[in-house]
Structure 1
């Protein structure tokens, strides 16, 4: 790191991601992160008080990218059924891209996600809220039915019903022949079930 560059939490998180990719979660240390940045480990600890806090923050940052990528479907214009299908397609594509494009980092984050269940719970809540926003628009427009349990519970059911296509526990299946057909069949079933 050049002496004139300011050490920010974002720069630390970027460096941490690279260190985790290189060494994995078992071997990566705060000292490795500091070395990658050209600073003392104390400088890193000024931003993140513990190694656990740093790992939690990098996990949250990684998961937040999905929420950001999916936001246009949740908040954008257009028919709710198309937005819901687009949201599900995009989530599946994002997860496949992460699993296939950067398997080392995906494996690392699987460990970190296991350590940070509260971060994962918040992430899932954000995703379910995005689905709920689309469903609420669909209910308002008379396209979707609210269901007996309300929009949020229905959104959670949609998330759970499509689990095979976004839960990394199923990542090995995502390159299987016919997975696209399976995905389309599930999405079609879900959207038909939501119709008013």
Structure 2
């Protein structure tokens, strides 16, 4: 008896789209290629994503959301099952995890990383939401530090944005070519030390 085919879901389409983008690149990948990879008609794909642009935006958002989700446990203070970590440690761990995640994406699958750099240029809304989410996570850590008397910040939202922008070299994909250069880890630690010194109450 033939196996029952899997239902066509948005998640399956996004997984297939990622593979098609990896294989063909953003300039040549089409909805027809995605449909062919799934063994369905392109009309079936359009029932989930009304346009090619909507599909590309959804796959970009999914890629960016993976980073946000991987950091959320640190924000809550339970990244390692340790709810008692102080805000300074959480802040340092959060930036370390963000830097590691971005470096992993750039180094482990450079073709797909380059593809997503093109897609993020196309999808400013998805990128804006991603940055807002990351700054929101930082704001919660800063607020926890203020509440604990560890950080001095009159406006945690403004402080979070300043921290994000001050550390840009270690998470903005435009700096990816520098991430594996000698001394980058030392530079990262020095920037973190400086930022934390400035935050301490």
- Taking structure 2 as the reference length, what is the TM-score of the superposition? 0.95
The count of residues paired between Structure 1 and Structure 2 equals: 193
Gaps of 5+ in 2: 78-82
What is the CA–CA distance in structure 2 between the aligned matches of 1:167 and 1:102, rounded to whole Å? 17
1:1-196 pair list within 5 angstroms: 4-76=5-77, 77=83, 78-147=85-154, 150-196=155-201
Shift of 1:118: 0.8
Runs of 4+ in 1 over 6 A off after TM superposition: none
Q: For the residues of structure 2 that align with 1:178 and 1:4, how far apart are their CA atoms?
A: 51
CA distance, structure 2, for counterparts of residue 51 and residue 155 of structure 1:
35
Q: Deviations over 1:138-161 (max 9, x none)?
A: 0000000113xx101100000000
What is the distance in 2 between the residues matched to 1:56 and 1:153?
28
Q: CA RMSD in A?
A: 0.8
Gaps of at least 5 residues in structure 1 are none
Distance 2:5 2:115 in 1: 32
CA distance in structure 2 between the aligned counterparts of 1:140 and 1:49, rounded to whole angstroms: 46
Measured in 2, the distance between the counterparts of 1:93 and 1:17 equals 21
Distance in 1 of aligned mates of 2:26 and 2:76: 35
Whole-angstrom distance in 2 between the partners of 1:28 and 1:117: 20
